[in-house]
Amino acid sequence: MGLTKRGSAMTSDHHAQEIQMLRSEIEMLMNERQSLLRATGAAAVFVANLDSESLPESTYAVADVLAHALNQLSEDSLRDALELVRPTVEAARSEAKKQET
């Protein structure tokens, strides 16, 4: 009987450790997603404001790769990305206007 209780406690401890590991992994993945969304949002705003006629020809291929990557995102992901960077972009634009005057 003592073995059964000990085995049950070890199994419970093992499950608790697995759950904690999964929680840590999910938290890490969510942080990574936030970073990727920030980068994606910044790239999308950059592309939207880019004057393609002022690009050197040597950058056309890379710009095309970036544009295709952004276009392949789901609408929800792109919306999340833009919402995440909106405050930063607005602050940067506001600061740039202040410096112009």
- 101 residues of the chain, pLDDT tens digit each: 444 556 566 688 899 999 999 999 999 999 999 999 999 999 999 989 888 888 899 998 998 899 999 999 999 999 999 999 999 999 999 998 889 87
Residue-level pLDDT at 21: 97
Q: CA angle, 77 as apex, 90 and 26 as ends, to 5°?
A: 105
> How many separate helices (H) and strands (E) can be counted in the chain?
3, 0
Rounded-to-integer distance, Cα 72 and Cα 66, Å: 10
